[in-house]
Amino acid sequence: MKKMRSAKQVRTVNNILVHTALAILAAVWVFPSSCG
Amino acid sequence: MGKLNRINEFTTPYSFREALRRGGLETKLSMILAGLGNIVHKQVGEGPSVSGAEAAYVVFMMTTGFRCIAMLGSLGTVGQQEIWDEVNQIYRYTKGDQSVLILLYGVAVLFLTALMAAAWHGAVKSAYKAECLDKAGKHVNSFFEDLKSLLHENLYRLFMTPPLTFIFGFTVLPLIFMICMAFTNYSKIDNHLVLFDWVGLDNFRALFDSGSILGSTFWSVLSWTLVWAFFATFTNYIFGMILAMAINRKETKAKGFWRFCFVLSCAVPMFVSLLIMRTMLQPNGAVNVLLRNVGLIGADASLPFFTNPTWARVTIIVINIWVGVPYTLLQLTGVLQSIPEDLYEAARVDGANSFQTFFKITLPYMLYITTPYLIATFTGNVNNFNVIYLLSSGDPVTDLASTAGKTDLLVTWLYKLTIDKQYYNIGAVIGILTFIILAVGALFTYRNSKSYKDGGGILI
């Protein structure tokens, strides 16, 4: 039987993904700036 | 479509045409001796000032002006000569003609003449006005009253004069000078740096001839310029939009912190960031050394960031994303926050999912607002000298006979042609062509955009 995810679970997964992506991108943006 | 008639909202009975038709003898004589009509009609301040200005212009033209215009035809013929001075046992140099100065002075005198023609036109109208008022028994303004009017009904003239003077002196005059240069042979080729001639459309023909090295370089640089401008504009826009939306989500925590991280790169001057990037991506730069140490590339290998044409082009576009996205992020954050929330609520009630909401509400709204910004960014990228010159200097050069590298834009090539090679005429032609391409492209796109049609273009 296919297990359905609750809306809250989906939101949590989305949040983790978005925040992780933002953290990685922020590091990419900050690193060369800090070299300057 | 019917013919559009321009309606003058500020009609005046004291026009130049009326002065010609109905003006008295003194007004008509003002066309020869400017200010005469004003003097006759009690304007003892304005009349002599206008006459004085005309006299100064005539004296200037007699002593210098006509000679400058006459020399425009040949642009000078006498070259500098070396003469042996037997007495002092040294070489003396005679003063020859300098075509650049002849061209500059000639254009400036023509400009001054156009200015005087406008002043003369105004003076005739002023004389006619004085005549009409005097004949009707009305008050004729004295010189001081005219000066005083500059702070009241003629305030716009007072405020517009300084910017117009600077625009004409420092923008229009050099522009005309540059356009004239495109029709000469002013270049190092055949030693035409001091004395040069008019050559008509020869420079344009040389540049458009795809069989020659210059022509093939031009087409190659032009196509890369357009490709670069397209990718530089849209990668920044799309990436900035995704980032702005990710940060602007309701569920995203610490929005201010994320914005700070991305906008931090704006705090460092762009040329410093670009030079750091250039250093980091050299064959022995930080990135290659790091990859070697990690073992992703061989001990002697390096990634050809700026030595392979395709790599160089991709690298530049990617670095431009790093440089430009913070600015786009700020722009689009403002736009996103201005989208009415009730549109989203209505979409949710109608059962729209997030993709539908994005493509039906967010994207059209953003495009509507930012079309003028996109056009401005595109034209800015066509002329993006900084990123290209500081990152790759137009390199790599694969064809030694060519004057441009594989990442050169029209503007960086123009710089190389004028500063390094001293081909001023070809540089001027490229400048004109860039202007035409940009002006036509920007106007056409903007006039066909929804922002323009609905009168909603607010950014330019």
B265/chain A closest Cα distance in angstroms: 5
Q: What is the ipTM of this complex?
A: 0.83
Q: How far apart are CA A36 and CA B264, in angstroms?
A: 11
Give the best residue of A18, A24, A28 to mutate against chain B (max B CB count within 10 A). A18
Question: In the predicted model, is pLDDT for residue B59 greater than 90?
Answer: yes
A32/chain B closest Cα distance in angstroms: 7
Of B246, B265, B277, the CB nearest to A22: B246
A10 and chain B: CB distance < 8 Å anywhere? no
Tell me the one-letter amino acid at B51: S
Task: Give the Å distances, CA to CA, from B409 to B182, B228, B304, B401.
Answer: 19, 8, 20, 17
A16 and chain B: CB distance < 8 Å anywhere? no
**A16 → chain B, closest CA residue:** B252
Question: In the predicted model, is pLDDT for residue B159 greater than 90?
Answer: yes
Helix locations, B338-419, DSSP H: 341-349, 354-357, 363-382, 385-391, 410-415
**A30 → chain B, closest CA residue:** B261
The confidence score (pLDDT) of residue B167 equals 93
A1/chain B closest Cα distance in angstroms: 26
Contact list, A32 vs chain B (CB under 8 Å) = 265, 273, 276-277, 280, 322
CB contacts < 8 A, A to B, total 48
Whole-prediction pTM: 0.77
List B93's β-bridge partners, or say none: B82
Question: In the predicted model, is pLDDT for residue B57 greater than 90?
Answer: yes
Interchain CB distance below 8 Å, A25 and B243: yes
Nearest Cα to B243, choosing from B275, B226, B265, B225?
A: B265
Q: Which of B13-27, B34-48, B62-76 has the highest mean pLDDT?
A: B62-76
The confidence score (pLDDT) of residue B1 equals 42
Q: How far apart are CA B6 and CA B317, in angstroms?
A: 47
Which residues of chain B approach chain A closer than 8 Å at the C-beta?
Answer: 243, 246-247, 249, 251-253, 258, 261-262, 264-265, 267-268, 272-273, 276-277, 280, 322, 325-326
φ and ψ at B400, to 5 degrees? -65, -25
Contact list, A12 vs chain B (CB under 8 Å) = none
The mean pLDDT of B423-441, rounded to a whole number, is: 89
Question: In the predicted model, is pLDDT for residue B310 greater than 70?
Answer: yes
The mean pLDDT of B332-352, rounded to a whole number, is: 88
Number of helices followed by number of strands (H, E) in chain A: 1, 0
Interchain CB distance below 8 Å, B262 and A29: yes
DSSP string, chain A: -PPPPPHHHHHHHHHHHHHHHHHHHHHHHHHHHHH-
Interchain CB distance below 8 Å, A28 and B322: yes
Long-range contacts of B451-456 (CB under 8 A, 24+ apart): B451/B368, B451/B369, B451/B371, B451/B372, B452/B371, B452/B372, B454/B368, B456/B368, B456/B369
Instruction: Report residue B8's pLDDT band, with 50, 70 and 90 as the boundaries.
Output: low
Per-residue pLDDT of B226-276, as tens digits, reads 999 999 999 999 999 999 989 988 888 888 898 988 888 888 888 888 888
Contact list, B267 vs chain A (CB under 8 Å) = 33
| C-alpha distance across the termini of chain A, in Å | 56
